[in-house]
Amino acid sequence: MFSSTERLKNKTLKHLEMYSRPNLDFFLLTAFASAIISFGLILDNSSIIIGGMVVAPLITPFFGLSISLILLRIKETFETIGSIILGIFVAVVISFIIGYITNLAFIGTFDNTTEILSRTKPDVLYFIVAVLSGLIGSYAYVRPTLSERIVGIAISAAIVPPLAVVGLSLAKMDIKMITSSSILFLINFLGICLGSILMFIILGFGKEKESKL
């Protein structure tokens, strides 16, 4: 029982170390995910938005950050933070470009759809949902019998759409929407990190630090 758990922990740690660092695939997937979600927001089409969430690769650096914090691995912590910041930058820039081009096509500004507006209303309930997503997401990520891709959709749902709204709002120079969607992203980010940290501790990842002391 314990040897099986240890093997699972080691496998998860190696996987996170391998894929938490930024690479070309990470940037391409983030860019395409942001583009798809941006069009879905503008078209007010939830199916397109969900399709973009499937592509988004942000799950690994998020969980990598959580485990690095638990284990007090300073170097890995900064590496994963760097990956997340670069991912945020790519997502916002791509959505800004799409918003700017769409503005030119509309000869003005595109409408604020229901899907866009729903990402500009930060609330404590979003934080609770984010914590739950972090809890179940990190649990499913560790379990080999559960689908990592489905977990990724749950995490991406809380992260990429608000970032896309930030970029689209920048294209419209709507300061109020930029601020509110940024706050929503921050709420979701903190909630996912908190939830995943709690679950990883429950699963015994904190003991890895003790064994190295």
Domains parsed from the chain with CATH numbers: 2-211 (1.20.1080)
Residue pLDDT, tens place only, 152-196: 666 666 788 999 999 999 998 999 999 999 999 999 999 999 998
pLDDT digits (tens, 9 = 90+) for 78-127: 888 888 899 899 999 999 999 999 888 876 667 888 999 988 888 888 89
Q: For 139-186, give the secondary structure using H, E and C.
A: HHHHCCCCCHHHHHHHHHHHHHHHHHHHHHHHHHCCHHHHHHHHHHHH
Look-up: residue for tokens 């391998």?
18
Where is average pLDDT lowest: 3-7, 12-16, 43-47?
3-7
Report whether pLDDT(8) > 60.
Answer: no
Q: Considering only CA atoms, which of 121, 95, 131, 134 is closest in space to residue 184?
A: 121
The rounded Cα 76 to chain-centroid distance in angstroms is 18
One-letter amino acid for residue 89 of the chain: F
Residue 153 and residue 80 in contact, taking contact as beta carbons nearer than 8 Å? no
